[in-house]
Amino acid sequence: MTLIADIMTEIETVMGLVDESQLTDAMTELNKKRRVYVVGAGRSGFIAKSFAMRLMHIGYNVYVMGETITPSIQAGDVLVAISGSGSTSSVVETAQKAKKLGLSIVSVTSDETSPLAAVADKLIIVPGATKTGAGVKSIQLLSTLFDQTVHITLDALTLMLSRRDQTSNEDALHAHVNVE
């Protein structure tokens, strides 16, 4: 009883610090006509994939860096890059290379002074505790609080996009894989 309540208190604290106007601002980079790429390592990578899957459901042309059918990135594409510390080497390098190639970068991180924040065109700060010590303190292991709150934040962003685009739950269900 108390453990779940304690965890929920942590999550509420962090979500209370997420600035919804940063989501509104990031939305201006995201639409159905641009290719969207996502990247993240470890558990942030699973959240990145969860976000990408839902973007596909609402009709976006989205790819996960490192998956089978992901094509080369080109000027005009958008990269959503996730790292709690903002310093995970593979994620930062991908964002820096993408920036040079002419992509817009949406950085999602706990640390606004990090290299990943530095390269951002649009910045979404989710101040959950990470394994490097940034963010709101937590009783949970490693970057767990960051993972949880990025999950919720990107689901909020998806909901905002679907409303702007007038995409219904039925539309999303139609795109959802039907053999699993």
Q: 151: which 2 tokens?
A: 């999950």
With vertex at residue 122, the alpha carbon angle to CA 112 and CA 91, rounded to the nearest 5 degrees, is 65
- How far the first Cα of the chain sits from its last, in Å, is 34
**Residue 105 Cβ vs a copy of itself, minimum distance, rounded to whole Å:** 13
In degrees rounded to 5, what are phi and psi of residue 29?
Answer: -90, -10
User: Which residue type occupies 146?
Assistant: F
Q: Considering the rule CB under 8 A, would residue 151 count as an interface residue with a copy of itself?
A: yes
d(CA 10, CA 145): 7
Beta strands in the chain (DSSP E): 35-40, 61-64, 78-82, 104-109, 122-125
**How many residues in the shown chain lie near a copy of itself by CB under 8 A?**
70
Near a copy of itself in 66-95, by CB under 8 A: 66-73, 88-90, 93-94
Nearest distance in Å: CB 32, a copy of itself: 14
Give the residue with the Cβ less far from a copy of itself, 56 or 118: 56
Compute the distance between CA of residue 8 and CA of residue 173 in angstroms, rounded to an integer.
Answer: 29
Contact stretch for a copy of itself (CB under 8 A) within 25-33, 112-120, 171-179: 171-179
Residues near a copy of itself (CB under 8 A): 1, 3-4, 7-8, 11-12, 15, 18, 20, 41-43, 46-47, 49-50, 52-54, 56-58, 62-73, 88-90, 93-94, 97-98, 101, 131, 139-142, 144, 147-148, 151-153, 155-156, 158-160, 162, 169, 172-180
